[in-house]
């Protein structure tokens, strides 16, 4: 009887251990996590086994990653029924119908690690989770010293959405293929599976089209400018146009294969009919407005009146009334379709300045011939012809939500960027939708106060990104493919700044797109992000510390005075401030309520502390700027 009671008690205690709170700091949060006690110890004798042989590439990638950080000579091999599984990491494809697409089951015991999935993508995503269970030193580029232990755990996991994307704009600034690969590596670790590659725009054409060589001979190069994009001086005729670059078709194939091995599809974007200055510089006959054109170097050529319709001072749009345009696009999409195996091609369709179309006799003749009532229908005519070309290459077309204007092409998918409503409208019409609204996922937006960030159109805090839900109420989920974050690179000059803008907001987006909705928890996410920061420090990946910066909310007190409210984004911070031009530290006053700015002060400084140590950046803002924000001149 005592033995029976002991066995029952042991089982009960074991269950209690396995139901303890998850504190593993995994991003994105898995569907189900059950922690046990103890750990699996990785050592020089550990083997990575796999079955079937088709997992060979993934197994070798895991072994190489482990070897790089630990220094252990991890070997791989096929798993057989008769061999011992002790001290092994086993990767196995299974026909288990309970595992969803891209899902996996990971079990770590003291003796071995077992990872099962129905498809290779599930195995790959399970490996990313497994790597996050290892110490942060696993991110090291060379052999490091650590206790190479993986906690005992059972994880069952699968994604909420099938489209989990990040967009990289390589037109505004060109990023060489090795840097694109780094971007792919980083996004793959957090289970993103679509790289939206913005390859063409007014500032550069980045993909080799062999039948149209001037696209890269002319369209890939511009004058080098440094400063604030959109405010650059107009280049002189004698300034060298030697800044830029492009990807050869061999480069493209190499990058596509690299992404495929990391379970990422690449969506190529050729942005037309607007945003086409680079193409027009190479082939000026494609516009409605005869003239000589050059690739834009960042000088202003679009005007955005407050509350009004934008217009161009230079025609940067292809001409829908010109049959040469359709011959041109057929050549482009023929080669693009051959280079990119993904089922979709993005044709842009956004922000077309129509003021030159309004003046064009050719456009007026087209409208009369095709019975087009307005310029929305003119663009719709163009978009529908793009869809026929793209469909003719065996691909589906996707475009920005402006393609809804004038009537949506019959089979087009919509990428909804201006808001959620356009995507909801397209879904209700029976079209596939990827949600990517500026309000939540434009990763080029400032992450903190404008005094701390390169100036862009708006701000987007980390917490706001985490509030994103791609599925609007009242919309059939089958039409919402998922979502993505977009990084436009007008103000992003190098790969370090790419990293700074992406992380940590992409951590939040990763969890939004992968994890169950009921798993979202802001207060739980913050310490997980901080754990990832430590891993990034080891990996030497840059990230923004903006979540430690408070928001500054300024109010007008009277005709000459203002008050300032400091709003922390995360809990547990103490905000110290000064108005006497000095640099505050933990011994300065701490913020408790809105501050009235002293009458004669000229500068306010704020810094965030936690547990007696500075965690935020020193914010310095002039009182003149505070008054300006409150509407005091």
Q: Which residues are catalytic?
A: 201, 275, 351
Backbone angles phi, psi at 437, to 5 degrees: -75, 140
As a whole number of angstroms, the distance between CA 164 and CA 142 comes to 30
Give phi and psi for 434, each to the nearest 5: -115, 120
3-class SS of residue 555: strand
Q: Which residue has the tokens 């754990």?
A: 531
Contacts of 322 (CB under 8 A, 6+ apart): 285, 286, 287, 288, 362
Q: Would you give the distance in Å from CA 351 to the centre of its chain? A: 21
Cβ contacts of 330-333, under 8 Å, gap ≥ 24: 330/389, 331/209, 331/211, 331/212, 332/209, 332/212, 332/270, 333/270, 333/389, 333/390, 333/393, 333/395
Place of tokens 């942005």: 271
Contact 128, 148 (CB under 8 A): no
Asked if 412 contacts 399 with a C-beta cutoff of 8 angstroms, the reply is yes
SS3 call for 386: helix
**Per-position DSSP letters for 466-506, written without gaps between them:** HT--SS-TTS-GGGEEEEEEEE--TT--SHHHHHHHHTTHH
* C-alpha distances in Å from residue 608, one per residue of 226, 326, 451, 462, 591: 32, 57, 16, 17, 10
* CA–CA distance, 189 with 358 (Å, rounded to integer): 48
Of 368, 198, 182, the residue nearest 267 (C-alpha): 198
CB-hemisphere CA count at 13 Å for 508?
Answer: 25
Under 8 Å between Cβ of 479 and 159: no
Cis amide prior to 504 (ω within 30 degrees): yes
| Contact (CB, 8 A) for 584 and 606 | yes
Provide the sign of the torsion angle of the four alpha carbons 521, 417, 259, 119, taken in this order.
positive
Residue 97 tokens read as 């119908």
Query: Percent helix, strand and coil across the chain, each rounded to 5?
Result: 35, 25, 45
Query: What is the SS3 string spanning 343-384?
Result: CEEEEECCCCCCHHHHHCHHHHHHHHHHCCCCHHHHHHHHHH
Would you call 107 helix, strand, or coil by DSSP? strand
Q: Which two tokens stand for residue 312?
A: 């161009």
């Amino acid at each position: 009887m005592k033995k029976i009671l002991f066995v029952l008690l042991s089982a009960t205690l074991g269950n209690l251990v396995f139901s303890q709170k998850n504190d593993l700091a995994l991003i994105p949060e898995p569907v189900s996590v059950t922690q046990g006690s103890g750990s699996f110890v990785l050592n020089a004798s550990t083997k990575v086994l796999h079955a079937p042989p088709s997992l060979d590439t993934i197994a070798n990638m895991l072994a190489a990653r482990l070897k790089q950080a630990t220094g252990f000579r991890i070997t791989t091999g096929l798993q057989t029924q008769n061999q011992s599984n002790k001290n092994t990491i086993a990767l196995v494809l299974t026909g288990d119908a309970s595992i969803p697409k891209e899902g996996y089951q990971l079990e770590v015991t003291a003796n071995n690690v077992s990872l099962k999935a129905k498809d290779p993508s599930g195995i790959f995503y399970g490996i990313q989770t497994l790597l996050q269970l290892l110490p942060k030193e696993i991110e090291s580029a060379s052999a490091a010293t650590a206790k190479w232990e993986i906690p005992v755990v059972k994880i069952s996991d699968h994604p909420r959405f099938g489209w989990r994307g990040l967009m990289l704009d390589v037109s505004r600034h060109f990023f060489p293929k090795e840097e694109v690969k780094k971007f792919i590596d980083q996004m793959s670790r957090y289970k993103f599976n679509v790289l939206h590659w913005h390859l063409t725009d007014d500032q550069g054409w980045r993909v080799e089209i062999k039948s149209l060589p001037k696209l890269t001979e002319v369209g890939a190069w511009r004058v080098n400018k440094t400063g604030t994009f959109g405010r650059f001086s107009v280049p002189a005729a004698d300034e060298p146009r030697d800044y830029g670059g492009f990807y050869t078709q061999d480069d493209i194939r190499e990058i596509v294969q690299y992404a495929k091995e990391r379970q990422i599809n690449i969506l190529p974007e050729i942005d037309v009919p607007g945003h086409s200055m680079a193409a027009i510089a190479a082939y000026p006959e494609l516009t409605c407005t005869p003239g000589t054109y050059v690739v834009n170097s960042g000088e202003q050529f679009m005007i955005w009146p407050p509350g009004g319709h934008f217009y161009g001072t230079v025609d940067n749009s292809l001409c829908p009334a010109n049959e040469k345009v359709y011959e041109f696009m057929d050549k482009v999409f023929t080669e693009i379709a051959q280079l990119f195996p993904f089922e979709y091609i993005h044709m842009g369709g956004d922000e077309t300045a129509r003021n030159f179309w309004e003046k064009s006799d050719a456009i007026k003749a087209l409208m009369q011939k095709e019975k087009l009532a307005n310029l929305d229908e003119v663009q719709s005519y163009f978009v529908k012809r793009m869809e026929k070309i793209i469909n003719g290459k065996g691909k589906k077309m996707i475009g920005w939500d402006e393609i809804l204007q004038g009537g949506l092409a019959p089979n087009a998918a919509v990428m909804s960027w201006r808001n959620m409503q356009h995507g909801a409208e397209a879904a209700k019409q029976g079209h596939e939708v990827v949600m990517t609204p500026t309000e939540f996922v434009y990763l080029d937006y400032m992450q903190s106060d404008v005094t701390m960030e390169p100036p862009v159109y708006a701000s987007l805090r980390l917490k706001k990104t985490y509030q994103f839900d791609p599925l609007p109420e009242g919309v059939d989920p089958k039409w919402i493919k998922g979502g993505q974050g977009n990084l436009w690179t007008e103000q992003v000059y190098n790969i370090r700044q790419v990293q700074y803008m992406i992380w940590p907001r992409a951590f939040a987006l990763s969890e939004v797109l992968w994890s169950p909705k009921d798993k979202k928890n802001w207060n739980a996410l913050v310490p997980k992000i901080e754990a990832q920061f430590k891993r990034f420090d080891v990996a030497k990946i840059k990230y923004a510390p903006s979540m430690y910066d408070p928001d500054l909310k300024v109010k007008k007190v009277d005709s000459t005075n203002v008050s300032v409210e400091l709003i922390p984004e995360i809990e547990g911070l103490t905000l110290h401030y000064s108005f006497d031009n000095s640099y505050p530290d933990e011994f300065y006053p701490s913020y408790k309520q809105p501050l009235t700015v002293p009458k004669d002060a000229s500068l306010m400084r704020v810094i965030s502390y936690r547990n007696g140590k500075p965690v935020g950046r020193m914010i310095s803002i002039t009182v003149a700027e505070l008054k300006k924000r409150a509407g005091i001149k």
